[in-house]
Amino acid sequence: MWLKIVTLVCIISEIGSLLYPLVRDNQVYNYVPPENDVEFNLYHRDDLEVSDRIYVEDGSSLNKSRFDAYLPTKIIIHGWTHGDNVPWMIEMREALAQSGTCNVFVVDWSNLSHVTYIEARIHNTVVAKQLTKLLLLLAYHRGISMSSIHLIGHSMGGQISANVGMRIKNQLGQKIGRITGLDPAAPLYEWPHIESLDEILDPTDASFVDVIHTNARHLGMVTPAGHVDYYPNGGDRQEGCIFWICDHIRACEYFIASIRKPDLFNAFSYKDLNEYARGRESQLESYPMGINANPEIPFGIYYVKVDDTYKQYVESKTTLSDSYGLNIYHE
Ligand SMILES: [Ca+2]
């Protein structure tokens, strides 16, 4: 039965990848979504429940908000079928806001993400355009340097981040400081083939790009897409997961865990993997994965052994039963 399901998924995916260029280029699908379908909500540690909504065409909404121009800014972007109310989004913004060290924006494009995958893929452009307008608002109204911006995008959100990075380069001549790709989406980006690096996350999209691959070759990219690429447990399957969606979301959980415990994950260069396999990890240099990834880490690809320890630092974790039932989150 599983073989049939996998075959069916492959056929559907292949049809989707064939349809996408037709739909995009021939404008069979010509719906242009309203720009206000993309919301920007700013959270502050003083109140983790209530946000300040920022309107990209209205500078006064920014001036009246709790935005602190002296702090760096982190912006979380979800992917297909998600919104700002999914548990990992809530937990990540709370963990970041509680740190008190940054402005935390959540991009909510749920009005455009609850459609077919192909439609959502096409909607990436309007989301990226609107997020670019938000960054321009920060630059023009508050003098914010793009080097202080950190985009954190899961799945399609990772690819939207790349699109924003390209737009900011073109419009401001500046690079965004950092993009973190959390298992950036592969279907219609990396496969069936990469049309252009403009379409996908790559190291030119920000001054520093770090990527955590947890469902590589399936829902997430397998190709290294950053200056530093992490492949926890080999990068494709994660402990306790049955379905790909579970592996895919683990990237978010690992990142959340790293916010709460920045030295939790020890990453080793793949160049040292033979030594690591011989049990000589104590003699090898290790590097942080997650929130503390930084440009001082030698660029390249990294292996990280992740066991259940990380779960004590995440509340909205996926489980084995979630994987079976496709009820992804614990209540
Ligand atoms: Ca790119």
Of 157, 177, 175, 159, the C-alpha closest to 167 is 175
Rounded to the nearest angstrom, the distance between the alpha carbon of 225 and the centre of ligand 1 is 9
* Residue 119 C-alpha from the chain's centroid: 19
Task: For residue 147, give the amino acid letter.
Answer: S
| Ligand 1 geometric centre to CA of 226 (Å) | 10
Separation of 160 CA from ligand 1 center, angstroms?
A: 10
Identify residue 74 by its one-letter amino acid code.
Answer: K
Q: Under a CB-based contact definition with an 8 Å cutoff, are residues 97 and 43 in contact?
A: yes
pLDDT tens digits along 244-280? 999 999 999 999 999 999 999 999 998 888 887 788 8
Of the listed 161, 205, 248, 269, which one is catalytic? 248
Q: How far is the CA of 277 from the centre of ligand 1 (A)?
A: 34
Compute the distance between CA of residue 240 and CA of residue 64 in angstroms, rounded to an integer: 46
Instruction: Measure the CA–CA gap between 66 and 51, rounded to whole angstroms.
Output: 9
* Residue 264 backbone phi and psi in degrees, to 5: -65, -40
Q: Which helix (H) or strand (E) holds 7?
A: helix 2-25
Angle between helical axes of 156-172 and 117-142 (0-180°, round to 10): 40
**How many whole angstroms from 161 Cα to the centroid of ligand 1?**
9
C-alpha of residue 162 to centroid of ligand 1, in Å = 5
What radius of gyration do the chain's Cα atoms show? 19
**Is 84 in contact with 106 (CB distance < 8 Å)?**
yes
Q: State pLDDT tens for residues 273-313.
A: 888 778 888 888 999 999 999 999 999 999 999 998 999 99
- Which tokens is 232 given? 């926890």
Is 155 one of the catalytic residues?
yes
Is residue 213 within 8 A of residue 205, CB to CB? The reply is no
The verdict on whether 248 is a catalytic residue reads yes
| Known catalytic membership, residue 183 | yes
* pLDDT at position 5 over 50: no
The one catalytic residue among 183, 210, 229, 322: 183
The owner of tokens 């920014």 is: 62
Assign residue 233 a region: left if phi > 0, alpha if psi is -120 to 50, beta otherwise? Answer: left
Helix (H) or strand (E) holding 230: strand 228-232
Q: Does the pLDDT at position 325 exceed 70?
A: no
Which phi-psi region, left, alpha or beta, contains residue 257 (left: φ > 0; alpha: ψ -120 to 50)? alpha
Q: What is the pLDDT of residues 165-211, one digit of tens each?
A: 999 999 999 999 999 999 999 999 998 888 789 889 999 999 999 99
Question: Residues 20-77: pLDDT tens digits?
Answer: 665 565 555 566 677 789 999 999 888 888 999 999 999 999 999 999 999 999 999 9
Cβ atoms of 109 and 37 closer than 8 Å: yes
CA-nearest of 64, 141, 71 to 103 is 71
CB 324 within 8 A of CB 267: no
